[in-house]
Each structure stands twice: as structure tokens, then as C-alpha cells.
């Protein structure tokens, strides 16, 4: 039996995304889980593919805002997934304050001038969240 954890990344900066994925690949080697990653790069995808799809159950959600289309990833139905599974990663303090009001406690201010350090902080927060998640809360699949 292999334990799986799914991470939904809502991020439109491809450089930041590549750094986070690089750090996640290192983290996966240290975990008793296989990590699955879903990436959406605009808020329209969140509305069309996530909010109305009750088959999607990410264990962890990285929540940025959508700068490219001028909308917001904050349309995500946070209450459905639970604010304890969400890590806010916006570079805009106002967006991070908005999610705090919705119950999100894990907030990392994105520093675009120090992207490598930012990605490292994000993955350390993911690792901390993985450590406190109960095993029965995992998406468990048998591999034969």
C-alpha cells in the first residue's frame, strides 16, 4: 500500500511554479507518501474544474492570486476543502489578509526578488502540514 498526498497549486508565475516543483521533488524523497500535483494557472480553471467538481479532494492547496487574467484564485471554495489545508502564497498583502479572514492561518508573503528562498519556505510549510496530517486523512491507493 502506497500513501498518496495531492497538492493543488494555484499559481500563474511559471518561474515560481518551477521552483516549487523542484523543491517538492526533493521533499518527496523524504516522505512516506507519493506526491501528486495538480496545477492551475488561472482563476477560470478553478471555477470550471475545481469548485463544481466534488471528485477533487486535494490534501494541500497553495493559493496565489491570478495576475495574468486579472481575476483571483480566491474564488476557490475554501470552506469546502477546509482552511487548514490551504497555504496562501500571494505577493499582495491585501490578498493574504483576505484569506486570513476566511480562516487560513498558513500565509507566506511571496517575495519576487528572492524566489528561491520563497519556494523553500513554501515547501517547508508543506512538509510541516504533511507531518500533522493523520494517515487516515490521506488519499490511499493500493498499488499491485
User: Is it true that domain 2-141 has CATH number 3.40.50.2300?
Assistant: yes
Taking the model in full, what pTM does it have? 0.87
For residue 59, which phi and psi values (nearest 5 degrees)?
A: -80, -35
Handedness of CA 107, 110, 114, 116 (dihedral sign): positive
HEC profile of the chain: CEEEEEEEEECCCHHHHHHHHHHHHHHHCCCCEEEEEEEECCHHHHHHHHHCCCCCCCCEEEECCCCCCCCCHHHCCHHHHCHHHEEECCCCHHHHHHHHHCCCCEECCCCCCCHHHHHHHHHHHHHHHHHHCCHHHCEEECCC
Q: What is the pLDDT along the chain (144 residues), one digit of tens a residue?
A: 568 899 999 998 999 999 999 999 988 886 777 899 999 998 888 988 999 888 999 999 999 976 676 777 888 999 999 999 999 999 888 888 989 999 999 999 999 899 999 999 999 999 999 888 765 544 444 333
Q: In whole angstroms, what is the distance from residue 137 CA to residue 43 CA?
A: 27
Domain boundaries, the chain: 2-141
Q: In this structure, what C-alpha cell is assigned to residue 11?
A: 499559481
Amino acid at each position: 500500500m502506497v500513501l498518496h498526498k495531492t497538492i493543488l497549486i494555484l499559481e500563474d508565475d511559471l518561474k515560481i511554479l518551477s521552483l516549487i516543483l523542484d523543491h517538492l521533488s526533493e521533499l518527496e524523497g523524504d516522505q512516506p507518501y507519493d506526491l501528486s500535483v495538480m496545477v492551475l494557472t488561472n482563476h477560470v480553471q478553478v471555477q470550471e474544474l475545481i469548485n463544481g467538481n466534488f471528485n477533487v479532494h486535494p490534501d494541500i492547496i497553495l493559493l496565489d492570486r491570478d495576475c495574468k487574467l486579472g481575476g483571483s484564485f480566491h474564488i476557490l471554495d475554501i470552506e469546502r476543502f477546509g482552511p487548514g489545508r490551504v497555504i496562501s502564497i500571494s505577493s499582495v498583502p491585501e490578498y493574504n489578509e483576505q484569506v486570513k479572514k476566511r480562516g487560513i492561518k498558513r500565509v507566506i508573503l511571496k517575495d519576487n526578488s528572492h524566489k528561491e528562498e520563497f519556494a523553500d519556505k513554501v515547501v517547508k510549510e508543506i512538509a510541516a502540514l504533511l507531518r500533522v496530517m493523520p494517515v487516515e486523512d490521506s488519499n490511499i491507493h493500493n498499488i499491485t
